Structure 1
Amino acid sequence: MPTLRRLIAFAYCFIATSLVHAGQPITPVALTGQLPPGIGPNTGYDLFQDFTGSPGLNEAGEVQFNAFLTGAGITPTNDTALFAGAPAALQLVAREGSPATGLPNRTYAQFFAPSPLDRSGDVLFGNDLDDGNFSLFTGLPGSTALLAKPGDLIPGAPGPIAFVDVASYTTFASQVPITDGGLVVFGARFSPSFETGLIVGIPGNLSIAALTGTQAPGRPPGVTFTLIDLQTVWLQPGGKLLFQGVDNGTEAGFGIYSGTTGNVALLVHSGDQANGIGQGVFYDIQGVASIALNASGTSAFSTGLSGVGVTPENSVALWVGSPGAINLVARAGMQAPGVEVGVTYGINPFVGSATTFDALLNSTGQIAFTQYLSTGQQAMWAGAPDNLRLVARQGQTAPGLAQGETIGGAGNPSAVVFSYGYFINDSGRTAFSARIGTRSFNGDDAIYVGNLDGELVYVTRYGDSVKLNDGRTLTISSLYPSVKGFNSKGQLLIHVGLSDGSDAILLADTAATVITSATSATGKVGTPFSYQITGSNHPTSFSGSGLPGGLNLNTTTGLISGTPTTAGTFNAVIHATNTSGQGPDVTVTITINAAPTPTPTPTPTPTPTVTPTPTPTATSTPTITPTATPTPTSTPSPTNTPTPTPSGTPTPTPTASPSSTPTPTPAPTPQPGSAVNISTRLAVGTGDDVLIGGFIITGDVPKKVILRAIGPSLNVGGVPLAGALQDTVLELHGATGLIQSNDNWQSDQKTAIEDTGVPPTDPKESAIVATLEPGNYTAIVHGKGSATGIALVEAYDLESTNGSQLANVSTRGDVQAGDGAMIGGVIVGGDLPADVLVRAIGPSLTSKGVAGALQDTTLELHNSNGDLLASNDDWEGTQKDKIIATGAAPTDPRESAIVRTLAPGTYTAVVRGKNDTVGVALVEVYVLQ
């Protein structure tokens, strides 16, 4: 069979690689230029052939692949070979031009067609031979045997084999043509009738499991197979089979069959009543159905539907089970798990109707499948059939990649999002390749592993750097049909092309923990320092060396904290450990500056003179304006906290969803206005671009508050907010450093958070309940594993009548154009109006050591209906005297400020750069009474 190939000259030496990215540890299996085993000196691998199922990986971590060769003595008649074995002990299995096993005077031809290895390391491959008679071979490397060739006689066959059918082993990557102990399934045609048979066995002991022209099991007498679809055959230990057949009956003829050799039974057939669906709805198997079989004999299958109430929007479904015990898992039009209420499994927008669920099963009965949503996005689910979890969804933030990059890619014109296959291993973890950019072939793909808790672990992507030991750095220029194997050890096999035209087969350890937090941090001598080290795959401990004086690493939490004593740049070597062992070392560069400054915010601004309000700590955190829904209490005890509903990002004229005005707690006398909730929404980056929110508690008694970091539940009009941060981490800092941190709010303080009445709605969001003494505080929000996206930070006053109050809120962050505006929200509680000062600070931050400060700010103030109450460009242009009278006028004329008396209610401040300029800015809200 002709195969396109390309020869490149390389140095014939082993070339070690290491991947320079934040993904999982990757080691080479085979590389262009590397000396192949069993070929001879001064030779090397050239390029690697890529078939469905090859390169392949088994449960033991053994691999197989077909390679072109180059170098001394290599000619067009001996330049392909098949290799298999453990990556550190590969063996030559067969080579073009060498004697064919079991066939005297015959040699292998160029084309080798291997299947994935079985658990024992047996390989199955086909070859045309030098006489063109395609034959099959199997066995362990070094001891292969002839399995079948034209002219062989199989017991029960209508005649000798006319030829072995290529389709029987060129199966999809998920299907299994060889299983434990070297048991093989393949197809053949027999002469003279040319009937097709499905054959199972080992060399010297083959039998027919199904044969065209014979009675189709479960069908009326005289109804016979007319076609056995060899592309859909599954084989599992013990000879368990699953395949699709076509018969000459009256009900469309398509059926799915399961069983063992000599005991095949009909599973379902077109025209049968569909299980789990109302009467009058039938299986409609048109062409190839999506089917899968696991080691216990459980089947999964997806077909079309016909009959009562069937429309293009609900015309396919997915089932699991065995003959007589089939259960419905999913149907187009049903609510999809893990997404918003009302979003269902939907139609394929490229064909205008629902398409089959593409499903896999692992040995424990867990399932994985992909399907479109009614929103037009593709998504993947996995888990027990009755307890599915969302693995990934088109349009969600792509973990480990730059801010704004999403799974599926913006404007992706291709129908392929989860490109070229995916896997579920026996532990229930999934592995897949997802399109990130918009290229339709060898595109901008990234490879991920989905953990059982919903974490997506980034492995590698198109464009990642590869450093060779000769000093060159190349990039991955193509991911050949993607993930090639994924076993229960967490090993993942991939085939990549590199930017110089060379090839590599790589093995990733996806079970290892890898540090995912940023690799640089900055602090100041004498100022409390806090930096959280995070890792993938649930690290259990951390260790390191080379920290600056005064800093310590918490070996359990990964928090580096303390007060630096020495200025300089320090390269700390950190690594994380989990149940799979120690991950790779990562160097974190910590720069300690000599000049002491306050906590991670700009220098405090003057306190307003209208009433003594403490100077705010210039820190900030982005958030969406909350919508209050308070529930008043019956006695003058602390008011129940309003329940927020974040609104969408305002456009130049915001259209925030209307919200009810908070109802104050009944009290004997009117209460003065105060801030009972403060919030900010902004894009969260990494390093210094995290979300930093500052607030001040005034008075003389402690105040109980709840802080929330909201990301995945952010929505605009019920539609998930594009680019939302998918997993938040929240830290609360005081004057002496870190007070408390939280990753997922249900992991600790769950009851206390629920008792506030405002728990986050997504378990990946964060919250902290704390009783705080009067003073300055900072809330910091960053993404778990250095993820990026838009997030909301909020502080709620849980005791609005106890003599202290939230008097000031400030948020610092990176202001972008469009939806990247900084949005600060405040709820004014009490019975009476409150005078407030709102400031947008930018250019004066430069003198306080903030790099990239926004050089000209604009400020808008909106009510809960989105109506514009006031706006300001340069603060001296309007309200100059009122602003000066507060005692907190901005220090730069390009900054903005608004003084306003606000009735109790919900308000939003929006900060942008003039003429869509960008940079770091600070938004502040002062309560002046």
Structure 2
Amino acid sequence: MSMARQYLVLLGFAAGLAFSASGQSVSIRPVATTLDEVPGVPPSRDFYLFHSSGVYIDEYGRVVFSARTSENNSSFETGIWAETSPGSLENTLIAGVQVPGQDPGVTFSSLSLSGLSGEGVAILDGSLNGPGVSSSNNETLWIYEAGSAAQLLVREGQTQLPGPIDVSSFSFASYSDDQSRTVIHSDLSGPGVTIDNAAARWAIDSGGQAEILTRNSDPAPEFGVDAFYSFAHVTPTAGADAYAIVRVYGDGIDRSQNEAVMLFPANQGPGTIVARRGDPVPGHPGMVHDDFFEFTIAESGAAFLSVFASGSPGVSGYGLLCANPVDGLTLIAATGDPVVGGAPGDTYAFENDTNIELYYRLVDISEDGTVVFASSTGSGSNGLWLYHANTGIQSIAIAGDVAPTPGGSYVFTDLQTASPIINSVGQIVFHAEAVETSGAPTINGVWATTPGGGLVPVLVSGQTVNVGTPGSPILKQVTSVSLQQGSPNDRDEKSPFSSVLNSSGEVVLTAEFTDGAGVFVAHISHCQADTNGDGMLSPADFSAWVSAFNTMSPQCDQNGDGACAPADFSAWVANYNAGC
């Protein structure tokens, strides 16, 4: 049957179709607000502040977050709370009270959430205070699983690695679901420890068995000379492999070749050089890598910034690259390249001064190797783009584009206020600011992509949210929305196992309202039938599906068989009537 004949048959069938589904594709539930009772503390204490830099969600939709409590707006204490199931909250650890298993009088002086694995294992970082506690033994790491008490995992000055070597000053820790162990990057102390070998990447299991994986001063045979590692930054993947920014030293090695991005195996063994200072930059003749900035990783690979240099004074540049074991190193975009979807003549400007925060939170990468990134442009604009090896660069949103909102006519003004985030099914969420075309005050909020390539507002300032229950609603007007973000001066990237967005399309965020604040989960339905990508189901989606059918676009495939065929129409009808 010809494509035209197929279209007529489908159109005739659709003429008698009763469209039964409608509604928005975003639902929001409160996790905790400043109006709630605080689990695990005296009734006189209230939630006072939620830390947007310490809130994560696992693959089961359970949230773990850091917050401060207060008693009559004084006597502030920080703690970590977790959902044992969505909607059921418990306290894990809190500052100011006796620390479990420690000497009498020992309390936490501070607590923070280091990360949360997809299976719901959290790593907590706590500093101790009290009798017998000093600067050489006050740092601790704890492990927590939903429904179980937090357990001490590591204590500075008391945990020993093979050697024996003492552990001190943790800079990175994350739990690996794949290997059922925690991977840590820390400083070392004790006999035989010098300035050259005083840091290591190591792992510890639930039984307390530890092994050193890679250590400063280990031989670096990959460099072909008598070289030794000096790890500037190590970030393990979910499989506990590690991408690292590595500096090397040894005879004959100078600054022109002493830094590299490398991939190390999950267990002990030699690494692989991904990109090295002095190596040619792909696609930029005459340019070489001169410096590397922090990166984001997944099991599929890594994405990172590189500073370019040349033999000519004043000639340099910046570029965004990705690396994976299959394709090797690929240059995604560089300063001076034309902006995809931008104004004619506009170019990317990764080194723009307004981009300084993005050196540390520019990019995210999914399990299939899709990269989402933000950048300034030469014209002073900014935006978000995604990249995949099969499709190249595509625009998500650029300043000046329409910003869909529940009401009013808005355009984006700043899309660089937080790192964009992508999940395993390709959904992207991002924080941005927008302004009404009439010149009304700026709003801020979180937006998400839809399967059709459109955008849907998740939560924006000016909206109302229910902080009560469905049966007893308490409506509050939102004044500000935040996604998890870290300090631009913090060289420790987010844990690759931790996210504010899971594969089911649930995103956790913090919001302030007129008389308080809260942590919320928004469910962004991966709505297959929303083929026009407007975040709604309506008969207009049928026309959009027909267009996708005629052009063989990805939105045509409604039954997930990887093909575009008439059978996808029946699948679209079923998806539509199932709703979102």
- TM-score, structure 1 normalization: 0.47
User: Is the 1:446–1:462 Cα contact (8 Å) retained in structure 2?
Assistant: yes
Match of 1:378 among 382, 386, 390: 382
Equivalences for 1:532-547 in 2 at 5 Å? 536-537=534-535, 539=537
Report the alpha carbon displacement of residue 258 of structure 1 after superposing the two structures with TM. Answer: 1.4
1:199 aligns with 2:205: no
Identify if the C-alpha distance between structure 1 residues 512 and 366 changes in structure 2 by more than 3 Å, giving closer, same or farther.
closer
Name the CA distance, whole Å, in 1 between partners of 2:473 and 2:63. 28
SS state at 1:218 partner: helix
Deviation by residue 1:493-515 (Cα, 9 ceiling, x = unmatched): 11112211x22100101117799
Give distance in 2, aligned partners of 1:352 and 1:424: 20
- 2:336 equivalent to 1:333: yes
1:510 to 519, 524, 527: 524
Q: Distance in 2 between matches of 1:102 and 1:258?
A: 38
350, 375, 394: which one aligns with 1:389: 394
Amino acid at match of 2:476: L
Corresponding residue number in structure 2 for 1:613: none
Q: Deviations over 1:472-494 (max 9, x none)?
A: 65322232455771111111111
Q: Could you tell me how far apart the structure 2 residues matched to 1:240 and 1:26 are?
A: 36
Q: Does 1:68 find its partner at 2:83? A: no
Question: In structure 2, what is the equivalent of residue 878 of structure 1?
Answer: none
> 1: distance between equivalents of 2:352 and 2:71?
50
Whichever residue aligns with residue 155 of structure 2, its letter is K
Match of 2:182 among 184, 205, 226: 184
* Offset of residue 268 of structure 1: 3.7
- Say if 2:297 is the partner of 1:293: yes
**Aligned-partner Cα distance in 2 for 1:746–1:394:** 28
Please give the per-residue CA displacement for 1:764-813, whole angstroms capped at 9, x wherever unaligned. xxxxxxxxxxxxxxxxxxxxxxxxxxxxxxxxxxxxxxxxxxxxxxxxxx
Q: 1:817-872: CA deviations, max 9, x gaps?
A: xxxxxxxxxxxxxxxxxxxxxxxxxxxxxxxxxxxxxxxxxxxxxxxxxxxxxxxx
Task: Decide which moves more: 443-452 or 214-223.
Answer: 214-223
Is residue 88 of structure 2 the alignment partner of residue 89 of structure 1? yes
Report the Cα distance in structure 1 between the residues aligned to 2:504 and 2:473, rounded to whole angstroms.
32
2:223 corresponds to which residue?
A: 219
Which of 152, 159, 168 does residue 158 from structure 2 map onto? 152
Q: Quickly say closer, same or farther: Cα 1:270–1:158, change in 2 above 3 A.
A: farther
- The amino acid of 1:207's aligned partner reads E
Q: Equivalent residues in 2 for 1:378-417 (5 A)?
A: 378-387=382-391, 388-400=393-405, 405-408=410-413, 417=415
Does residue 277 of structure 1 match 2:292?
A: no
Q: Give, in whole Å, the separation in 2 of the partners of 1:744 and 1:350.
A: 43
Amino acid at match of 1:329: I
Greater C-alpha Rg:
1
Given the superposition, is the C-alpha separation of residues 462 and 326 from structure 1 closer, same or farther in structure 2, using an over 3 Å criterion? same
Pairing 1:35–2:41 present: no
Q: Secondary structure at the match of 1:168?
A: strand
How far has the Cα of 1:397 moved from its partner? 1.4
- 2:461 partner amino acid: Y
- 2:255 is equivalent to residue 251 of structure 1: yes
Q: Distance in 2 between matches of 1:443 and 1:312?
A: 38
Q: Deviations over 1:458-484 (max 9, x none)?
A: 111123233555886532223245577
Q: 1-side partners of 2:221 and 2:398: how far apart? A: 40
Matches within 5 A, 1:93-132: 93-105=92-104, 107-131=106-130
Greater relative contact order (CA < 8 Å, ≥ 6 in sequence) = 2
How far has the Cα of 1:56 moved from its partner? 0.8
Which residue pairs with 1:479 in the alignment?
A: 481
**Separation of aligned partners in 1, 2:239 and 2:397:** 34
Q: Which amino acid aligns with 1:318?
A: L
- Stretches of structure 2 that go unaligned for 5 or more consecutive residues are 1-22, 486-498, 553-580
Query: Match for 1:243: what amino acid?
Result: A
For residue 146 of structure 1, report the CA deviation from its aligned partner.
1.8
> Closer, same or farther in 2 for the Cα pair 1:245/1:378, shift >3 Å?
same
Equivalences for residues 748-767 of structure 1 within 5 A? none
Relative to structure 1, the CA distance from residue 256 to residue 535 in structure 2 (aligned partners, 3 Å threshold; closer, same or farther) is: closer
Give CA deviations for 1:560-581 in whole Å, capped at 9, x if unaligned. Answer: xxxxxxxxxxxxxxxxxxxxxx
Q: Is the 8 A contact 1:114 1:125 kept in 2?
A: yes
| Cα distance change of structure 1 residues 472 and 351 upon mapping to structure 2, 3 Å threshold | closer
Query: C-alpha separation between the residues in 2 aligned to 1:444 and 1:418?
Result: 14
Q: Cα distance, 1:216 vs. partner? A: 3.7
The one-letter amino acid paired with 2:157 is G
What SS class does the counterpart of residue 147 from structure 1 fall into?
A: strand
Per-residue deviation, 1:408: 1.7
Instruction: Summarize deviations over 1:390-422 as a string: whole Å, max 9, x none.
Output: 11111211112665532125xxxxxxx331222
CA gap 1:237/1:101 in 2 versus in 1, 3 angstroms: farther
Q: CA deviation at 1:99?
A: 4.4
**Partner of residue 212 from structure 2, selected from 188, 208, 219:** 208
Q: Is the 8 A contact 1:106 1:129 kept in 2?
A: no
What's the Cα RMSD here?
3.9
- State the SS of the aligned residue for 1:363: coil
Supply the distance in 2 between the matched residues of 1:310 and 1:361 (Cα, whole angstroms).
34
Residues 81 and 93 in structure 1, CA contact (< 8 A), matched pair in contact too: yes
How many residue pairs are counted as aligned between the two chains? Answer: 488
Which residue identity lines up with residue 64 of structure 2 in the other structure? Answer: Q
Residue 138 of structure 1, CA deviation: 0.9
Query: Partner letter of residue 334 of structure 2?
Result: R
For residues 479 and 348 of structure 2, the distance between their equivalents in structure 1, rounded to whole angstroms, comes to: 34
Task: Report Cα offsets for 1:549-569 as digits up to 9, x if no partner.
Answer: xxxxxxx559xxxxxxxxxxx
The answer for the alignment partner of 1:430 in structure 2 is 428
From the superposition, tell whether residues 91 and 472 of structure 1 become closer, same or farther in structure 2 (CA, over 3 Å).
Answer: closer
**1-structure distance, mates of 2:379, 2:223:** 41
Partner AA of 1:46 in structure 2: F
1:278 Cα deviation (Å)?
Answer: 5.0
Structure 1 residues 55 and 304: CA distance shift in structure 2, 3 A: same
Name the counterpart of 1:496: 511
- Spell out the pairing of 1:688-699 with structure 2 (5 A cutoff): none
Partner of 2:324 in structure 1? 321
Contact persistence 1:70–1:79 (CA under 8 A):
no
Q: SS in structure 1 opposite 2:115?
A: coil
Q: Which runs of 5+ in 1 are unaligned?
A: 1-20, 170-175, 410-416, 517-533, 543-555, 559-740, 752-929
Contact between 1:118 and 1:181, CA under 8 Å: does it hold in 2? no
- In the TM superposition, 1:910-925 aligns within 5 A as none
State the alpha-carbon separation in 2 of the partners of residues 196 and 302 from structure 1. 24
Change beyond 3 A, Cα 1:156–1:310? farther
Deviation at 1:157, TM superposition (A): 5.1
Query: How do residues 571-720 of structure 1 correspond to structure 2 at under 5 angstroms?
Result: none
Letter in 1 for 2:189: S
Residues 1:454 and 1:218: Cα distance change in structure 2 (over 3 Å): same
Counterpart contact for 1:56–1:115, Cα < 8 Å: no
Separation in 1 of the partners of 2:289 and 2:406?
Answer: 43
Whether the 8 Å contact between 1:209 and 1:264 is mirrored in structure 2 is no
Give the 3 Å change call, closer, same or farther, for CA 70–399 of structure 1 in structure 2: same
Moved more, 359-368 or 245-254: 245-254
SS in 2 for 1:50: strand
**Alignment match, 1:811:** none
- d(CA) in 2 for partners of 1:270 and 1:310? 21
Structure 1 residues 383 and 320: CA distance shift in structure 2, 3 A: same
Give me the whole-angstrom Cα distance separating, in 2, the residues matched to 1:79 and 1:134: 16
